Structure 1
Amino acid sequence: MRHLNHDNIVKLLESTESKNLYYIILELVPGGNIFDQILRLTYFSENLSRHVINQVTQALDYLHEECGIIHRDLKPENILFSPIPFVPKDGFTAHGRSDRKEEEGEFIPGIGSGGIGRIKVADFGFSKKMVWDRRATTPCGTADYMAPEIVQNEEYSKEVDIWALGCVLYTMLCGFHPFNYKSSQKMAEKVVCGQYSFLSPWWDNISGSAKDLVFSLLITDPAERFTIKEAQAHPWMNIDRRISSAAVRQDEANVISGD
């Protein structure tokens, strides 16, 4: 972990050991974790969800493509953030999904909302350095976010992080997990089959594009599942960039017309 150097990954500052224990000193990320923020806000808007997922994909792209590392325990509890000031938004509504929805405030592209700013992926206790022509075999991670190939004790590779990313995105958008079962056996059966749904009313106002990305990340066959590059190129992931480009073009048009 000492060699990891990315803006969206928690930095290891120092490590030492005694006769019986290892000690590590990590970068302080004072905002806390995304799981607690889902509990606080009930669910995230598409803008805030995109803000988080975009940064997580940048971290995973770095881990997979530059470092040859699988995280193997991606979940909201292991996604930390730096806090930003809250900017109130006029005309807030919860869109009928929950009377308990807390206001996120004004979303600022590239900055965030709801007090959530820069994202940092943390906890590399289950991570593994890989050579991509080989496969991992050890079942590990958090059960709710394990890919079907891990659940079935099959060999696996970096695609398991993509599955976990899909579970994280689903959870942020609606406030609960796609495979939300008390029985671990029942949950495992549903994961293996990829059997989940976009339940009403929680998903009624979520865009088709967001649902399409979730679907593409939660494909049971790892060979058909989205890659990180495909996720980053998905239209839903690039809405902020298109809006920014349109605003720039409008500003240029105003200058030319003298408005």
Structure 2
Amino acid sequence: MSERLPPEFVEKYKMGRIIGEGNFSIVKECIRKSDGSRYAVKCINKSSLNPKDRSNLVQEISILKELDHPHIIKLFDVYDDDSEMCYLVMEYAEGGELFDRIIAKEYYTEAEAKKVVKVVAKVLAFCHARGVTHRDLKPENLLYADESENAKIKIADFGFAKLVTAETNMSTMCGTPGYYAPEIVRKQPYDNKCDIWSLGVITYILLCGFPPFYDENQVEEMRKILQGDFEFVPPYFDTVSSQAKDLIRKMLVVDPAKRMSAETVLRHPWFGDCKDDEDVHVLASVAKNLKENKRLTVRSKFRASVGAIMAVNKTRQLLSMRREAKAPT
């Protein structure tokens, strides 16, 4: 990837070390020369993008410019000319990923999980009110602003985000397989309720350390998603409050028309004042299970990106065959 940086960028920033990599981009640290402030710069190789990906990049930039929220990673500068490279200078979340911090903790409570879920729900309510659907909500995109104990949670990666009007729906299959809403698997038109499903999956993981629909067989995993087939596995959910379980059930509703909105999520009783001991119960197995879950995630990255598409197609074929078999002759 070329390092022929735009003169305007060089005048303002000093490029630093690599802190992340994607399919078509590298994320580096950069330092603002005027005051030494640290930022993350996403270096995107536009020559590797197809027309649809280029369109998504333009939309990502447009959306990030509009979304000014304390819990969304902020876009500060864009350097995009006629060359093959585009540089997005963004807020640097130095505190790392949410799950890494939980794994490092000696103990973790339901009250802590509740705070995270409430922040994400608030961000979704903010985005949805402005016509923006994230479409790739997952734990890897939940970051801490810094390493302090009370650091803010930041929502990152709006690469799949879409701006839609009330009259339009989305149809593109995108996101991460384990967090797909059923309507995406079915290839039906969908709306911002797909984000609520993803939040339901995240909430479940935060309270036990593993995902609700995971299966080594991806066709079976897609079947579970389509049917909303999950359970609160004992003993991991034995100390989790009934209110938390109720919220998860209402977010993981297969029919998007009956699924909660971000605003109704925020009105759920689970987010009421902490008045009993349930909220402070230590979730002893979460860190251990998250560690194993991260190992599985690393092991199955290729499986998730390629095999999942095949699994979705196979699941659709099976559904079609079943419908035909049931049809009157």
TM-score range, shorter chain: 0.7 to 0.9
For 1:234 and 1:54, the matched residues in 2 are separated by 10
Gaps of 5+ in 2: 1-63, 278-329
Q: How does 1:126-165 map to 2 (within 5 A)?
A: 126-165=160-199
Q: SS at the partner of 2:126?
A: helix
Bigger proportion of residues as helix: 2
Larger CA deviation: 17-26 vs 181-190: 17-26
CA contact (8 A) 1:38 1:172 kept: no
Query: Aligned-pair RMSD on alpha carbons?
Result: 2.0
Displaced runs of 4 or more, over 4 A: 41-44, 240-243
Distance in 2 (alpha carbons) for counterparts of 1:12 and 1:133: 29
| 2:62 corresponds to 1:28 | no
CA contact (8 A) 2:184 2:190 kept: yes
Q: 2:133 aligns with which of 36, 50, 70?
A: 70
**Secondary structure class of the residue paired with 2:65:** coil
2:9 counterpart of 1:9? no
Q: Deviations over 1:146-174 (max 9, x none)?
A: 10000111100000000000001000010
CA contact (8 A) 1:43 1:175 kept: no
Quick one: which of 171, 174, 185 aligns to 2:205? 171
- Report the Cα distance in structure 2 between the residues aligned to 1:29 and 1:242, rounded to whole angstroms: 34
Relative distance call for 1:116 and 1:152 in structure 2 (3 A) is farther
Which entry has the higher C-alpha Rg, 1 or 2? 2
Distance change (3 Å), C-alpha of 1:25 and 1:163? same
Structure-to-structure mapping, 1:1-259, within 5 angstroms: 1-18=64-81, 19-41=83-105, 44-65=108-129, 67-83=130-146, 85=148, 115=149, 117-240=151-274
Deviates more, 1:230-239 or 1:138-147: 230-239
1:77 maps to a residue whose letter is E
Query: Is this contact kept in 2: 1:81–1:120, CA < 8 A?
Result: yes
TM-score computed with the length of structure 2 as normaliser = 0.62
Query: Structure 1 residues 82 and 160, CA, compared in 2 at 3 Å: closer, same or farther?
Result: same
Q: TM-score, normalised by structure 1?
A: 0.78
More strand by share: 2
Describe the shift of the 1:5–1:159 C-alpha distance in structure 2 as closer, same or farther (beyond 3 A): same
Percent identity of equivalent pairs:
36
Q: Which deviates the most, 146-155 or 26-35?
A: 26-35
1:137 to partner: Cα distance = 0.6
* Matched letter for residue 193 of structure 1: Q
Kindly provide the amino acid, as one letter, of the partner of residue 262 in structure 2.
Answer: I
C-alpha distance 178-116 of structure 1, shift in aligned 2 (>3 A): farther
For the residues of structure 2 that align with 1:192 and 1:208, how far apart are their CA atoms?
24
1:120-156 CA distance string (max 9 Å, x none): 1110000000002211010000001010000111100
Paired positions, count: 213
Distance 1:138 1:201, change over 3 A: same
Would you say the 8 A contact 2:201–2:252 is kept in 1? yes
